Amino acid sequence: MKGAMTAPPHADTIEPCLSFTHPQAMSTTTELHPHARALLADHYAAVDPDLPVLLDLLFARSAGEDWHKAGTFKHHLLGVYRTLALWNQPREVRLLGLFHSVYGNEYVDLTLFDRERERNTLREALGEEAEEWVSLFCAMPRTKFVQAILQGQGAGADGLTLEGADGQTYTFTPRQVAAFTVVSAADIGEQWHSWQDEIFAGYPQQQRRDLKTNWASSLWPGPLKPPSNILSMLSHLLAPLSRMPQDTGIPIPPAFDACRATLSPRDEAAASALYWQVITRMHPLTEMDSARHMLEAAVEHNPWVGEPRLLLAQLALTAGDFDAAERHAAAGLAALQAWGTAWDKRIEWAGWMAWARIELQNARARKWPENLGALNGLGLVE
C-alpha cells in the first residue's frame, strides 16, 4: 500500500473474533464481538450488571440535554463506553470512559458532579480506583498529556509526571498512562468530525483563533465530513501501548492492527477526500468504475475505517460480484467493530453496523435488489 501504514513485526497471537486486525486479513465468517448485540440493543446489563444503575445515576444529571460535538453529552459518553467495551477494556477503564468529564475538564464546562462534595457518591458507585481515575482524568492537563505521549514520554516503568497550568504536579503510574491513553483515543475518536478539524485545527498543538474572523468555521455542525487529520494523530498516540510494560493490565485496542501500525497525515487526508467525492457525488459518477477506483484508492490510503469498504460492497452487489461484496462487507463490519464509532458521523454507528450486516447477508445469499424502490425494503433477517 502507498505508505498507508507502518507495522513492526509482532509475534502475539490475537483471537480473530475479538481483535479485528487488518481488514484485508479478516475471515468472511468473522463473528460479531461478544458485546456487539447487547450494545446495539442498549442491553447494558448484559455488558455489566451494574451498568443500568450507573447510567440512571449519570443521566439524572441532564447529560441527555447537554450539547456535545456530534450530538448530546449522553450520546458521547455512551459512545466512549461502547468503544472501550469493544476494545475489551477492564471495568474500571470502561467506567472512566463513561464518567470521564463529569467533574469538568480543560476542554468542556460540563460539570455533572461537584468534586468537593460528591466524590463519595461516585466512589461508592464506581469503586475506589475508577473514581480516583475519573477525578485525576478530569483535573489533569489533558493536552499536555497527549503531547507527552506523542513525544515518547510515559512508555517506561517510571510512568509519567506532568505539571499543570496552576503549577500542580500530576504523577501517573504505567497502568494509568496506558488507561488514560486508551480513554483519550476513544474520547477523541467518538466525537471528531470536520467541524472539529476546523475549530481545533492542529490538535494537540492547536492555536487560539479569533471567532469573528473565522466565523464560517464556527458554524455547527458543518458538513459532517469524516475527519481529515485526526486518525493519524490517534495512530501515533496509541502506538506506544505496544511497547509499554506488559503488566499494566490494560488490553491493547484492536484499532490500527492492535496499535502496531500508524497512518500518515497524507494518507488520511487523501482517503477522506476520495471518499467524500464519491459519497456526496461531487465527482461526476458517469460510470461505476469511476466510483470503484476512487473508493479502492481511499481504502489503499486508509484501510482502518469501514465506510469506504461498505460503499465498495454495495457497488459489488449491484454489479453481481457477490464474492467481492462479501469480502468488502466483512472487512467493513470488522473495521466498525474495531472502532465502536462511525467515521462518517452523518449516520450513527448502529446504522452503519446494520447496513454492513445487510450487505453481508445479501452477498452470502447472492442476491440484491434490481430496482431502486426495492432498496427501501431491505431488512436484516436472520
Per-residue pLDDT tens digits for 218-242:
999 999 999 999 999 999 999 999 8
Q: What is the pLDDT of residue 215?
A: 94
SS (H, E, C) 169-184: EEEECHHHHHHHHHHH
User: Within a domain: residue 46?
Assistant: no
Task: Give residue-wise pLDDT tens across range 80-101.
Answer: 999 999 999 999 999 999 999 8
Q: Which residues contact 324 (CB under 8 A, 6 or more apart)?
A: 312, 313, 316
Total number of domains in the chain: 1
Backbone φ and ψ for 170, nearest 5 degrees, come out as: -120, 125
User: Within a domain: residue 99?
Assistant: no
Q: What is the pLDDT of residue 24?
A: 44
d(Cα 302, Cα 1) in Å, to the nearest integer? 9
Residue 105 banded pLDDT, cuts 50, 70, 90: confident
CA geometry: angle 107, 57, 187, nearest 5 deg: 30
The arithmetic mean of pLDDT across residues 362-368, rounded, is 96
The H helix count followed by the E strand count for the chain is 19, 4
d(Cα 197, Cα 220) in Å, to the nearest integer? 12
Strand partners, 262: 6
Dihedral, 244, 128, 49, 338 alpha carbons, nearest 10: -20
Cell numbers that stand for 132 in this block = 480516583
Backbone φ and ψ for 69, nearest 5 degrees, come out as: -40, -45
Residue 58 and residue 112 in contact, taking contact as beta carbons nearer than 8 Å: yes
End-to-end CA distance of the chain: 36
User: Within a domain: residue 324?
Assistant: no
Residue 29 reports pLDDT greater than 50:
no
Residue entry with cell 447510567? 55
* Share above pLDDT 70 across residues of the chain, in percent, rounded to a whole number: 91
Return the beta strands (E) in 4-70 as ranges: 67-68
Residue 23 reports pLDDT greater than 80:
no
Mean per-residue pLDDT of the chain: 89
Phi-psi region of 248 (alpha: psi -120 to 50; beta: other; left: phi over 0): alpha
User: Within a domain: residue 84?
Assistant: no
Residue 381 banded pLDDT, cuts 50, 70, 90: low
d(Cα 337, Cα 327) in Å, to the nearest integer? 16
Give the largest Cα separation in the chain, rounded.
66
pTM above 0.85, yes or no: yes
Q: What is the pLDDT of residue 20?
A: 41
User: Within a domain: residue 235?
Assistant: yes
User: Within a domain: residue 320?
Assistant: no
Q: What is the pLDDT of residue 19?
A: 40
d(Cα 77, Cα 79) in Å, to the nearest integer? 5
The arithmetic mean of pLDDT across residues 4-19, rounded, is 37
Backbone φ and ψ for 262, nearest 5 degrees, come out as: -125, 155
Task: Give residue-wise pLDDT tens across range 255-299.
Answer: 999 999 999 999 999 999 999 999 999 888 888 999 999 999 999
d(Cα 268, Cα 200) in Å, to the nearest integer? 17
Q: What is the pLDDT of residue 115?
A: 82
Determine the residue type at 200. F
d(Cα 300, Cα 304) in Å, to the nearest integer? 10
DSSP character for 204?
Answer: T
Q: DSSP letters of 105-172? A: -SS-----S-TTTSHHHHHHHH-HHHHHHHHHHHHS-HHHHHHHHHTTTT-STT-EEEE-TTS-EEEE
Q: Given CA atoms 321, 323, 324, 330 in this order, what sign does their dihedral have?
A: positive
Residue 16 reports pLDDT greater than 60:
no
Q: What is the pLDDT of residue 55?
A: 94
Q: What is the pLDDT of residue 382?
A: 61
d(Cα 196, Cα 36) in Å, to the nearest integer? 28
Domain that holds residue 256: 140-263
Residue 307 reports pLDDT greater than 70:
yes
User: Within a domain: residue 238?
Assistant: yes
Residue 302 reports pLDDT greater than 80:
yes
User: Within a domain: residue 258?
Assistant: yes
Residue 21 reports pLDDT greater than 70:
no
Cα 244–chain centre separation: 21
